[in-house]
Structure formats: structure tokens, C-alpha cells
Amino acid sequence: MQTTVTGIGRAARRTTGAHAWLLAALVGALAGTYLGSCTPAYNAAKSEEAGAVPTDLEDGTYSCNATNSSRGNGPYTLECEKSGDRVILHFANGGHVTLDIGSQETADGHSWQIEASHAETGDSWELTIEE
């Protein structure tokens, strides 16, 4: 690549090869930005920025208030372990109950209302989880 100086104190100019390189670099940068915006991670981040509310509570362990609405027992403040479409309620005495999630709703992504049922007894439970 040749460099030609057009005058004292003026910036050096590169000939044709440099212009092609600059154009290729700009096109590559723009294409990378566009393609990067097509990834699931990018789209998820944009949804969070836009204030999108999640539709399912993430799997994990939470403190929850649980009421057995079939028997009128509760509310209990318990540790709840959510995994997929199930919730395990851990009682202070060491016992636990595994429930199948029927529905889960949130208005803000931080406070969840979950309706679940016990497969063996048929008991219905209402859970409230605050993240």
C-alpha cells in the first residue's frame, strides 16, 4: 500500500486499497450489528429492556405463602422449590408435598400467583411467591 502526502500539515491519504478496506470494515460492522440483533440472547435482553413480563416463574427455591384451599389450611410461610411444572412445598417439620402447577400468573414479574394440585389427594393449593 502506498502513502501519498498532499501537503505539509495535512493528513496522509491512502490510495485505493485503503478505501476498499474501509468500505469492507464498515459493511462488516453493520452486518455484525444486524446479525447480532437476530440472536435469542439479544432478543431476550431487548424484551427485558422493553419491560416485557415473563410468563413463567423461573425454576428455583423461593419463600412462599401456601394455602390448601380444599381443606382451608394455611396460609403457611414455606420454602417452595419450583422445577418445571411442579412445586415442592417444604414444611418446617421436615415433611414435603409435591404439587402439579395448573396456572401461574404475574402482573409485574416479581409477584406470582400459582394454582397447583396434589396428584394423589386432589387437594388444590394457592401459592404466592414474591421475588
Q: Domain check: are 71 and 112 in the same one?
A: yes
Domain count, the chain: 2
The predicted model gives 75-81 an average pLDDT of 95
Please check whether residue 55 lies inside any domain of the structure.
Answer: no
pTM of the full predicted structure? 0.59
**CATH number, domain containing residue 103:** 2.30.29
Least confident of 16-30, 64-78, 86-100, 107-121: 16-30
Q: Domain check: are 20 and 64 in the same one?
A: no
Please check whether residue 96 lies inside any domain of the structure.
Answer: yes
Q: What is the extent of the structural domain holding 119?
A: 60-130
- CA 32-48-81 angle, to 5 degrees, is 125
What is the distance between the alpha carbons of residues 93 and 73, in angstroms, rounded to a whole number?
16
Q: Domain check: are 75 and 111 in the same one?
A: yes
**What confidence category does residue 26 fall into, taking pLDDT thresholds of 50, 70 and 90?**
low
Q: Domain check: are 73 and 118 in the same one?
A: yes
